[in-house]
Amino acid sequence: MDHDVDSYNDIVERALHDNIHFIQLQFTDIHGYIKAVTLPVDQLHEALTRGVWFDGSSIEGFTRICESDMYLKPDPQTYASLPWGNEHMQTARLICDIYTPEGQPFEGDPRFVLKRILHRAEQLGFSYKVGPELEFFLFKPNTDHTIEPMTNDNAGYFDFAPRDSADVVRKEIIQGLQMLGLEVEMSHHEVSPGQHEINFKYDEALKQADHCNTFKYVVKSTAQRHNLYASFMPKPIYNINGSGMHVHQSLFDITSQQNVFFDASDTYKLSSTAKHFIAGQLIHAKAISAITSPTVNSYKRLVPGYEAPVYICWGAKNRSALVRIPRYSPGREQATRCELRSPDPSCNPYLAFAVMLAAGLDGIQRQLSLPEPTESNVFALTHQQRRDQGIDTLPGSLFEACAELEKDPVIIEALGPHIVDMFLNGKRQEWTEFHQQITPWELQRYLEYL
C-alpha cells in the first residue's frame, strides 16, 4: 500500500499533538494472534517511510530461517492512541502490512490475503461489507491466580445490573473502543452466565478485520484491569452455549454504493447476486469451516442444541440454519444482508473474511443455484428427513474440516499455497496433540470399570 509523504507527516504531527511517547506496530500471524513491536516516537517517521525490519522466522507460519528478513509497513489509516497508560508513557497503535526484502507483499500475511480477495471483488464491481458479532466470556481468576472457567455472574440474555455484574466492565470496553475509532452500536449480556456481546457498526471488510483484533485487545486489557480475564474460546464450559462470531455480509456496487443484495420483487428481498453468493458459501461451507472454526474446541460448539449451526442450509426465520436472512424492513434496503452463523471468535478475521468472500464470489461467477430455503427447525428433523431435503452437515471435528479444506481448490487458491501449507501443518499438529490426551471424562468413565 502506497501513501504520499503528506500522509506520513500528518501522522507524525498527530502523534506529537497527542503527546505520544511510544508507537506500537501490530500485525498478526496466520492463527490470528496479535504480534507487536514498540518504538520510541522519534522513530515514527522512519518506520512510516522505510518500514521496520524483523525476523519472520520467529513467527509461527511465516518463513524458514533462511528466509527470515521481512519488514513491517505501517498503514497510516490505522493510527490510534491507546486509551490507557500514564502521560509519560502514552502509546499509539499502527497496524502493519508485511513485506519481503524485495518490496513485495508477503504471501503469508493474513492481511494481504484479505486485500487480494477484496481486489478481486473490486474488479467485479463490488465492495464487501461485514458486521461481525463477537461473543466472549468474563471469568474470575482463582485465588492462586490459576485459570479455570469460573464465570463472574449467573445472568442470562439481556439481563441487567445487579444480575449483570459486568455492566461497568462493558461500558469501559465501549469507551476504549470508541477512543480507538470503533463505532459501537450496542452491548448486552448474552445467553450463558458470564457471556457478553458488544456490536460495532457495519463497514468494509478490511477495516472490520482490523477492528476485530482491536476489539479483542481492548476487551482483554479492560477485563484485566477489573481482575477478570476475558476469553474468546468457542466452548469453555460444558452444557451451555458457546461463543460465536456471526458475520452479517453484503456486497455494494462500487460506483453507485447501492446494496446489490436487494431485490424488491423477491419473496426474501434477495437479488440473484445475493442468491448466487449464498449458494457459493453453502457449497464451500465444509472447507471454510477449517478457517472460520479453526480449533479443536470450535467443534464442541458446533453441536445440536446450543443455538450454533450444524446443518448446511439457509432460511429467513430459521436460527438453526447455517445462513440466515435477517427480516426485511421497508426503507432499509441498504441493510439487506445474509448472516453466516458458523464462525467463532477464535478465527483469524482476515482469513475468515477472505474465504467467505472467495466462496461467495465463486457462487456469483459460476451462477450457482440456491437450494430451497429451510424454515423448519432443522434440529427437530430426523436424519432421513434431512437427507430427503438434501441438507448436509458441517465437519464434526478439526480433523474433518482440514480434510475438506485440502480438497477445495477455490478456497486453497484464495488462501494461497503458503498459508494453506502452514495452516494445515499447524492444525494437524494441534489435532494430533489433542487426540493423544487422556481426558478426565475418559478416566471417570473407564478407569475403574475396565
CA 108/CA 378 separation, integer angstroms: 38
Residues with Cβ within 8 Å of residue 203, at least 6 apart in sequence: 129, 130, 131, 211
Q: Are residues 124 and 265 in the same domain?
A: yes
Of 85, 106, 127, which marks where a domain is finished? 106
Q: Are residues 96 and 147 in the same domain?
A: no
pLDDT tens digits, 194-216? 888 888 899 999 999 999 999 99
Give the amino acid at 59: I
389 inside domain: yes
Residue range(s) defining the domain that contains residue 261: 115-442
Q: Are residues 170 and 73 in the same domain?
A: no
Please give the pLDDT value at position 65. 41
448 inside domain: no
Of 89, 106, 123, which marks where a domain is finished? 106
pLDDT tens digits, 130-152? 999 999 999 888 877 777 777 76
Q: Are residues 278 and 171 in the same domain?
A: yes
Burial 182-220 (b: 16+ CB within 10 A, else e): bebeebebbbbbbbbbbbbebeebbebbbbbbbbbbbbb
396 inside domain: yes
Q: Are residues 242 and 315 in the same domain?
A: yes
450 inside domain: no
Q: Inform me whether the pLDDT recorded for 161 exceeds 60.
A: no
Q: Contact, 248 vs 152, CB < 8 A?
A: no
Q: Are residues 82 and 123 in the same domain?
A: no
Q: Inform me whether the pLDDT recorded for 285 exceeds 90.
A: yes
Q: Are residues 330 and 294 in the same domain?
A: yes
**Total structural domains in the chain?**
2
226 inside domain: yes
Q: Are residues 88 and 170 in the same domain?
A: no
Q: Are residues 219 and 346 in the same domain?
A: yes
Give pTM, 2 decimals.
Answer: 0.92
* Residue 22's CATH number: 3.10.20.70
Please give the pLDDT value at position 27. 92
Of 106, 131, 147, which marks where a domain is finished? 106
Q: Are residues 313 and 209 in the same domain?
A: yes
181 inside domain: yes
Please give the pLDDT value at position 58. 59
Higher pLDDT, 70 or 350: 350
Band (66; pLDDT cuts 50, 70, 90): very low
Q: Are residues 215 and 247 in the same domain?
A: yes
Q: Contact, 432 vs 294, CB < 8 A?
A: no
447 inside domain: no
Q: Which of 60-69, 94-103, 189-198, 325-334 has the highest mean pLDDT?
A: 94-103
Band (127; pLDDT cuts 50, 70, 90): very high
Q: Are residues 358 and 409 in the same domain?
A: yes
* Residue 166's CATH number: 3.30.590.10
DSSP 153: -
CA 278/CA 276 separation, integer angstroms: 6
> What integer best gives the mean pLDDT of the chain?
88
